[in-house]
Structure 1
Amino acid sequence: MTTEQLYNELNYVNHSREKRLFYAHMMQNNPKLVPKLLNILFKVDDKISPRAAWVFEFMCNDDINTIIPYLNKFTENMHKVHLDSAVRPVAKICEFLAKAYTSKEDNNIKTALTETHKERIIENCFDYMINDEKVAPKAYSMSVLFLLGKDYDWVYPELARILEDDFSKQTAAFKARARHILKKIKKASPKN
C-alpha cells in the first residue's frame, strides 16, 4: 500500500472504537505501513492527520512495543502537532510511554526510551501545560511529567508551579487531576 492509498484509507477512520482498532491492527500486521502512517500524522495542517494519530494511539495502546522502531521520528516531530484532535492522542501516547518506562515490570520501553526521547517528551508535555490546550492533553501531560520527572530535579518544582498558577483558571476536571498530582509531588519530594 502506498502512502496515498493509506491516506485515502484513513478517510474511513472515525470516532468508533471498531474503526480505530481495525486500522491499528492493520498497522501491526503490516509494519512497513507505520512510517507512512507517521508521515501522514506529521502533515500537521491536514485534516487526515488526526485520524492517523487516532490509529497510532490505538496501535500503541494495544502493544506499546510497536512504537519502539519509531521513537526517534515520533519524539522529534510530536511538537509540531497542533490540531486539537491530534494533540490528544499524541499526549496519550506520551503517557503510555511514561507508564511503561516507570512500570515495576520489565519491558522493552525501559531500554528503548533514551535520555533524548525522555527530554523531548518532557519538553512537549510542558508545552501542552503552558499552551492553550484542551483539558485531556494537559491531564495526560501532568501524569507524564510526574512519572518521568522523578529523574530530573527541576521537573517537580516547575510542574507544581504551573499547576498552582493555573488552578483557578481551569476546569473541574483539570483541578481534580492537578490536586491528585500535587499530592503525589508533595509525597515524593524530600522533607526539608
Structure 2
Amino acid sequence: MKSSALYQGLNQLTHSRHHRKEMALMVLENPKLIASLLKIAFQDDAPISSKACWVLEFVAKDRLDLLLPYLSIFTRQIGSVHRDASIRPLAKICEYFTKSYFVENDIATRNAFTNEDLEQITKVCFDWLIGEHKVAAKAYSMTCLLLLGQKFKWIHPELRLVLEQNYHRGSAAYQARARQILAKIS
C-alpha cells in the first residue's frame, strides 16, 4: 500500500470498529505507512486527520512498538490537535504508552522515551483534563497522569487538586474515574 492508497482508504473509512481494524491491519502489514499516517493525523484542520488518529489507535493497541521510532514526532505534535474526534484516540495512545512504560516496564518503551517526551505527555494530559473535552479523553488523561506521577512527584498533588475542583461538575463517568484515581493517589 502506498501513501496515496492510504489517503484514499482513510477518505472511505467509516467509524465502524470493523473498518478501523481493517485499515489498521493494512498499516500493520506495511509499517512504513506509519510516518504518512502520523503526518495526516496531525493535519488538524483536515477532517481526515481524525480518521488517521482512529487507525493509529488500533495500530498502537496491536503493536505499540511500531510507533516508538516516531515517538518524538508524536509527543511534539499531540498538543496541536484540537478536534475531539482526534483527541480521544490520541489520549488512548498516550495511555498505552504510559502503561507500557510504568506498568509493563517495557524495555523498548523505556529506552525510547526521553524526559522531554514524558513532560510533553504530562502537559497535554493536563490540558485535556482541564479543557472542554469529552470524558473519554479526560479519563485516559487521568490514568496517564497517575502513572506519570511515579516519575514526576509534583503531578499527584496537582492532579488531586484538579480532580477535586472539577469533581462536582463532571459526568457520572468522570466522577467514577476521578474516585478511582484519587483513591490510588491517597
**TM-score bucket (shorter structure):** over 0.9
The runs of 5 or more residues in structure 1 that have no matched partner are 187-192
**What's 1:26 paired with?**
26
**What's 1:44 paired with?**
44
**Percent identity of paired positions between Structure 1 and Structure 2:** 44
**What's 1:128 paired with?**
128
1:100 aligns with 2:113: no
Give matches, 1:1-192, under 5 Å.
Answer: 1-186=1-186
Do 1:139 and 1:174's aligned partners in 2 also have CA atoms closer than 8 Å? Answer: yes
Q: In 1, Cα distance between the equivalents of 2:177 and 2:64?
A: 24
- Farther-moved stretch of structure 1 (17-26 vs 125-134): 17-26
- How well do the aligned residues superpose, as a CA RMSD in angstroms? 1.3
How many residues were matched structurally? 186
How far is 1:105 from its partner? 5.0
Deviation digits for residues 48-103 of structure 1 (CA, Å, limit 9, x no counterpart): 11100000000000111111111011101001111111100000000000000012
The 3 A distance-change label for structure 1 pair 169 and 114 is: same
Q: In 1, Cα distance between the equivalents of 2:84 and 2:120?
A: 20
The 3 A distance-change label for structure 1 pair 86 and 104 is: closer
Q: Structure 2-normalised TM-score?
A: 0.95
Q: In 2, Cα distance between the equivalents of 1:157 and 1:78?
A: 24
SS for the counterpart of 1:142 is helix
Runs of 4+ in 1 over 4 A off after TM superposition: none
Do 1:12 and 1:19's aligned partners in 2 also have CA atoms closer than 8 Å? Answer: no
Alignment-mate amino acid for residue 96 of structure 1: Y
SS for the counterpart of 1:9 is helix
Do 1:50 and 1:83's aligned partners in 2 also have CA atoms closer than 8 Å? Answer: yes
How far is 1:11 from its partner? 1.6
The runs of 5 or more residues in structure 2 that have no matched partner are none
